[in-house]
Amino acid sequence: MSRMKPFRDLIGFEEAKDMIMERAKPLARTERVPLFDALGRVLAEAVHSPIDVPGFTRAAMDGYAVRAEDTFGAARMSPRILGLTGKIPVGKMPGLSVGKGTCAQIATGAPLPKGADAVVPVEETDDADGSIRIFRPAHPGAYVSAPNSDVAKGDKVLSEGTTLDPPHIGAAAALGMNELKVYAKPSVAVFPTGDEISGLGEPLREGAVYDINSYTLAALMKASGAEVEIFDIVPDTAEGLKGCLKEARGFDCALFSGGSSVGERDMLAGVLSEIGNVRFHGIALKPGKPTLFGNVRGTLVFGLPGYPASCLTNAYVLVRPAVRAMAHLPQAQRVEEAVLAERILSTIGRHQLYTVRAENGVARPAFKESSAITSMSNANGWIEIPQNTEFLEKGTKVSVYFF
C-alpha cells in the first residue's frame, strides 16, 4: 500500500527565489507587431527617426502669419493695420506669400508662407473690413515651430528595452512607423490537476470544486506579459502528468496546480525527476510549503499548491518575477508602509505570506485559510513575516506588497 511521505528537507524562501531567478533568462525571441498592438510590449531595438518632425516651418497658434517688423510698435490704442492676402489651411503648402504690409490667416499646424517669420495669435487681432488690425508686436519666430524642432532625422527616439506606453506609441506614429520590433511574450502553459476539480460550465460533482487556479494563474500571467494556454484538467496518474510535461516542452514555462504535496496520489515530483530535473521540492514557507520547481529541457516547471489562496500567493511571489524577467519587463512592485489593525499569529520555522487589506495606512488581516479564494479577493496585498516570528502585535509597522 502506498503511503504519504512527509517533506524532510525544506529550502529557504530567499534561496528558492534566487534559484528561480537564476534560470529565468530574458527571452531572445523577437517579433514585429502592428503599432496598434505594441502597447505594453518591450522594444527589441532602438528606434531612430527617418525624417524630420515637423518637416516644415509651421504655425503654433491660430492667427495671422506676418513679417515681424511690420508689427513693431503695435498697441491697443495704436494698432498696425495689415492687408489680408488669403487663408492657409493645414495639410497643404501655401500658394501665397506675405509681403511688406500684408498678412495671411493661418491655422495651427499649417505651413508658414514665404515672407512670413512670425504668427500673431488671433486674440491679439481684429478684422476691419478686409484688413487686420494687430494689437501686439511679434518678434521673429514668435508662435512658429521650426523644421525638426521636435525630432531631427537620425535622432534616437526610443531605446531598446523600452516598455511601450501611449506616449511612446505616439512618438512612433509621428515617424510614420506602422509596426515595431519587440521581444516575444513568454509562453505559459497552465495544467490543472486533480480528480477533485470540475471544469467551469459543467455540473458540479458531489465532493468536487470548480477549477479556480487555472483562471487566477492565467490572469496573473497575462498581466505579467505572457501568452497563456489553459489545458484540460489532468487526472492524478503518472501517465497523465508525463503527457503534460511532454506538451510543456513547447512552452517557456509550465504551471501545475495541485499534485506537488505529499499525498499518495501527488506524483508530479517523481514524474518530473524521470524526464526532467527537480531543482527543489518544498519551501520553508506558509502558505506554499509543497511548492516544486524544476525544468524539462528549456521549460521552467512550477508545481504550485492546490488550495486557491496558497496557489495564487505563491504565483505572485515566485512565478510572476520569473515571467516578467523572461518578458524583459521591470520588476515593478508597489510597497507601502502601514500599521496592523489586529494582532497576527505566525508559524515558527517558516517564512509567512499573510494577505491583508491596506487602506489609509492601516493593514487589516484578510486571510481565512489556504482553501478560501476570498483570502485573496478581499485582500489587496500581503505582508511577509520572518520565519522565527511568533506573532506581530497590533500597531506594528509592516511593509505591504500590493497585488
Chain segment 188-202, per-residue pLDDT in tens: 999 998 878 888 888
| CATH 2.40.340.10 boundaries in the chain | 335-402
What percent of the chain is modeled with pLDDT above 70?
A: 96
115 in Cβ contact with 47 (< 8 Å): no
Name residue, grid cell 498697441. Answer: 75
Q: Cα–Cα distance between 318 and 331 in angstroms, integer? A: 12
Q: Cα–Cα distance between 365 and 398 in angstroms, integer? A: 12
Among 185, 134, 244, which residue's Cα sits nearest to residue 26? 185
Q: Cα–Cα distance between 106 and 120 in angstroms, integer? A: 10
Report in angstroms the alpha-carbon separations of 60 from 65, 90, 106, 180.
11, 11, 10, 30
Report in angstroms the alpha-carbon separations of 271 from 193, 232, 236, 319.
14, 19, 11, 21
Burial, 1: exposed, middle or buried (Cβ in 10 Å; 0-12, 13-18, 19+)?
exposed
Least confident of 32-36, 103-107, 198-202: 198-202
| CATH 3.90.105.10 boundaries in the chain | 30-53+149-183
pLDDT (tens digit, 9 = 90+) per residue, 45-92? 999 999 999 999 999 999 999 999 999 999 999 999 999 999 999 999
Average pLDDT over residues 16-31: 97
Model confidence at 364: pLDDT above 80 = yes
Phi, psi of 251 (to 5 degrees): -115, 160
Average pLDDT over residues 139-168: 96
Residue 160 or 238, more confident: 160
Across all residues in the chain, what is the average pLDDT? 92
Average pLDDT over residues 129-136: 93
Task: Place 263 in a pLDDT band, splitting at 50, 70 and 90.
Answer: low
Report in angstroms the alpha-carbon separations of 333 from 33, 71, 217, 317.
27, 57, 18, 10
Specify whether domain 30-53+149-183 bears CATH 3.40.50.970. Answer: no
The predicted model scores a pTM of 0.85
Check residue 4 and give its pLDDT: 44
CATH number of 13-27+184-326: 3.40.980.10
Q: Which residues pair with 392 in a beta bridge?
A: 344
Q: Cα–Cα distance between 153 and 55 in angstroms, integer? A: 9
Check residue 224 and give its pLDDT: 96
Among 283, 280, 256, 255, which residue's Cα sits nearest to residue 267? 256
Q: Which CATH fold would you assign to the domain 58-145? A: Molybdopterin biosynthesis moeA protein; domain 3 (2.170.190)
Cell triple for residue 213? 487556479
Model confidence at 393: pLDDT above 80 = yes
DSSP H helical ranges for 160-317: 166-174, 213-223, 238-248, 268-275, 308-314
Task: Place 8 in a pLDDT band, splitting at 50, 70 and 90.
Answer: low
Model confidence at 1: pLDDT above 60 = no
Check residue 264 and give its pLDDT: 41
Check residue 237 and give its pLDDT: 86
Task: Place 265 in a pLDDT band, splitting at 50, 70 and 90.
Answer: very low
Task: Place 6 in a pLDDT band, splitting at 50, 70 and 90.
Answer: low
End-to-end CA distance of the chain: give it in Å, rounded.
Answer: 43
Class of domain 335-402: mainly beta
Amino acid identity of 15? Answer: E
pLDDT (tens digit, 9 = 90+) per residue, 157-177? 999 999 999 999 999 999 999
